[in-house]
Homo-oligomer: A and B are copies of this chain.
Amino acid sequence: MSVIDALAARLRSELGSGQVLTDRQQLRTYECDGLAQYKVVPALVVLPRSAAQTAAVVRACAEAKVPFVARGSGTGLSGGALPHAEGVLIVTAQLRSIVSLDPADERATVQPGVINLQVSEAVRDFGYYYAPDPSSQQICSIGGNVAENSGGAHCLKYGFTTNHVTGIEMVTPAGDLVRLGGAAPDTPGYDLLGAFVGSEGTLGIATEVTVRLTRLPETVRTLLAAFHSTDQAGAATSAIIAAGVVPAAIEMMDALAIEAAEAAVHCGYPAGADAVLVVDLDGPSAEVRSQFDEVTRLCAEHGAFETRVAADDEERALIWRGRKSAFAAVGRISPDYIVQDGVIPRTALPEMLRRIAAVATEHGVRVANVFHAGDGNLHPLVLFDDAVPGEAARAEAVSGAILDLCVEFGGSITGEHGVGADKTRFMPRMFTDDDLDTMQLLRCAFDPFALANPGKVFPTPRLCGERPGRHQGAHPLQVAGVAEVF
């Protein structure tokens, strides 16, 4: 009996046979996440129904030395939940209970399979919501949000997932159930909770998540400003921030992104706009009113030739529909495209756009730009036609060059989609070997056999214990010759 067959038999007896999938057709359902360019069929899929069952699965994997990958809703865009061909895919979709709601202390505790938007829906009547809002919030899970430290358009004002998670229960790669953090705003000891959030499944699996609830704002107002150039829109963004206004969101789209959105959803953005800003202001009415006047004035000062204000929720939704549809909409103007995700300092935005345009021209590829302009998080969409020989390669080259530019400007190779399977090769462009070795210290401490989501995040699969360094000859791992052991 193979290792996987033995594991399947054990898990069937421990969890019940309905929760263990081995049928090839069923396994294929899970072969990729939101980044469909990578596909791997897992050896086994398990759907635990409790924290204890999740721990049992991981413990069985640890004992059999079989790799495991956790998967929430599978909406990630970096291949973080890409299965391992000889491993177990642990799907958290059945861990979908809301454990407790405590609006008075602004906390909710949920299982990892709970959908992002369900948290907000559960507390809306108390006047609260859960702030992090990835575009996929109607389907993505809290567990996946924690793994990838998900962001969204409103992270400019409200921060990322890591700023809204105060405690978790998790299964370590050894199969132990432990708690990190708690309900208090700050706990003593190491902030392992912060390290776990965004660790992309390489440190274990969250089985319960305590999140901070945010008071629903008294007012939300949305404004659309049209400019003749992205330079103008970028300058307006910097001026708004410099004025001390922190909008809930400042989104930018360039001419090509606008063209795509118009073709797809007929959002009716001002004709002739080569760039638009979508600005959300929220908070107490008095504050929003005065900030609104200031934002309008600053946009006009920096060249906005038309400014529209949403008069009601319907008009608000229409303005946002153009922005939210942008990724899918480029399908209307290009058969294939790569969604890139990078970060630059906000002030580098105009320069960065010129550099992206130059690289695109050089390779004969079109790039549509959509971004969370307020915090410098770019989502360039690199367009290509896979049917034309060489185009995919050129698009890849442009996409990679954009990340190099992000690093050159002192930014980051990912803002919110994560490294996953997709960007491991870019990590050395951002970090030195010493920096990466330092991260590896943590991974090896939690997961000495590299069973938790192996092959993700980190570039070369350096073995634990193999790390050379100043402790060489004296490091306990090496004193004992462990480097040779495994």
Q: Which of B62, B163, B186 contacts A471 (CB 8 A)?
A: B62
- CB neighbors of B among A433-469 (8 A): 434-436, 438-439, 441-446, 448-449, 457-458, 464-465, 469
Q: Is A183 an interface residue (CB 8 A)?
A: yes
Residue of A242, A419, A470 most packed against chain B (CB within 10 A) = A470
State the CA gap A91–B471 with chains docked (Å): 24
A 209-255 contacts with B by CB, 8 A: 215-218, 238, 241-242, 244-245
Cβ–Cβ contact B179 & A435, under 8 A: yes
A162 at the interface (CB under 8 A from B): yes
A87 contacts B by Cβ under 8 Å: no
**Which B residues touch A449, using CB under 8 A?**
476
B residues in contact with A215, CB < 8 Å = 242, 244
Flag if B244 contacts A217 (CB, 8 Å).
Answer: yes
Alpha-carbon distance between A343 and B471 when the two chains are bound, in angstroms = 39
Contact with B along A468-486 (1 / 0, CB 8 A): 0111001111011110011
For A187, A197, A436, the residue with the greatest tally of chain B CB atoms inside 10 Å of its CB is A187
Shortest A45–chain B CB gap in Å is 23
Q: Are B413 and A188 in contact (CB under 8 A)?
A: yes
Which residues of A137-163 have CB atoms within 8 Å of chain B's CB atoms? 149, 151, 160, 162-163
Contact of B457 with A465 in the complex, beta carbons under 8 Å: no
Does A1 touch B at the CB level, under 8 Å?
Answer: no
Cβ contacts under 8 Å, A303 to chain B: none
**Interface residues of A, count at CB 8 A:** 106
Query: Which residues of chain B come closer than 8 Å to A343, judged between CB atoms?
Result: 184-186
Q: Which residues of B contact A238 (CB under 8 A)?
A: 104
Interface pair B347/A104, CB less than 8 Å apart: yes
Please determine whether A427 and B476 come into contact, CB atoms closer than 8 angstroms.
Answer: no
Contact B485 A188 (CB under 8 A): no
By a CB distance below 8 angstroms, the chain B residues around A63 are 474
Q: How far is the CA of A412 from the CA of B284 in the complex (A)?
A: 32
Asked whether, in the complex, the Cβ of A476 is within 8 Å of the Cβ of B477, the reply is yes
B189→A427 contact, CB < 8 A: yes
Nearest B residue to A465 by beta-carbon distance?
Answer: B476
Across the interface, name the chain B residue whose C-beta is closest to A342: B184
Kindly report which residue of chain B lies nearest to residue A179, judged by CB atoms. B435
Residue from A160, A344, A477 having most chain B Cβ neighbours under 10 A: A477
Residue of B nearest to A448 (CB): B476
Residues of B near A179 (CB, < 8 A) are 431-432, 435
Q: Mark each residue of chain A from 153 to 182: 1 if its CB lies under 8 Å from any CB of chain B, else 0.
A: 000000010110000000010111111101
Residue of B nearest to A194 (CB): B194
User: Which residues does chain B contribute within 8 Å of A291, judged by CB atoms?
Assistant: 284
Q: A195: shortest Cβ distance to chain B, in Å?
A: 5
- Known A-B contacts A195-B195, A419-B189, A442-B445; the reply to A470 vs B176 at CB < 8 A is yes
Asked whether A182 lies within 8 Å of B410 as measured between CB atoms, the reply is yes
Distance to closest chain B CB from A7 (angstroms): 16
* From A104, A185, A346, residue with most partner B Cβ within 10 Å: A185
Given contacts A182-B410, A445-B441, contact A244 B485 (CB under 8 A): no
In order of increasing CB-CB distance, the 9 nearest A-B pairs are A194-B194, A287-B287, A445-B445, A480-B480, A286-B290, A215-B244, A441-B445, A184-B412, A174-B470
Q: Could you show 26 A-B contacts with beta carbons less than 8 Å apart?
A: A59-B470, A62-B470, A105-B347, A160-B185, A160-B186, A174-B471, A180-B435, A183-B410, A184-B415, A185-B375, A188-B413, A189-B436, A189-B439, A190-B195, A192-B195, A195-B195, A215-B244, A218-B244, A284-B287, A287-B290, A441-B446, A448-B475, A449-B476, A465-B476, A479-B482, A480-B485
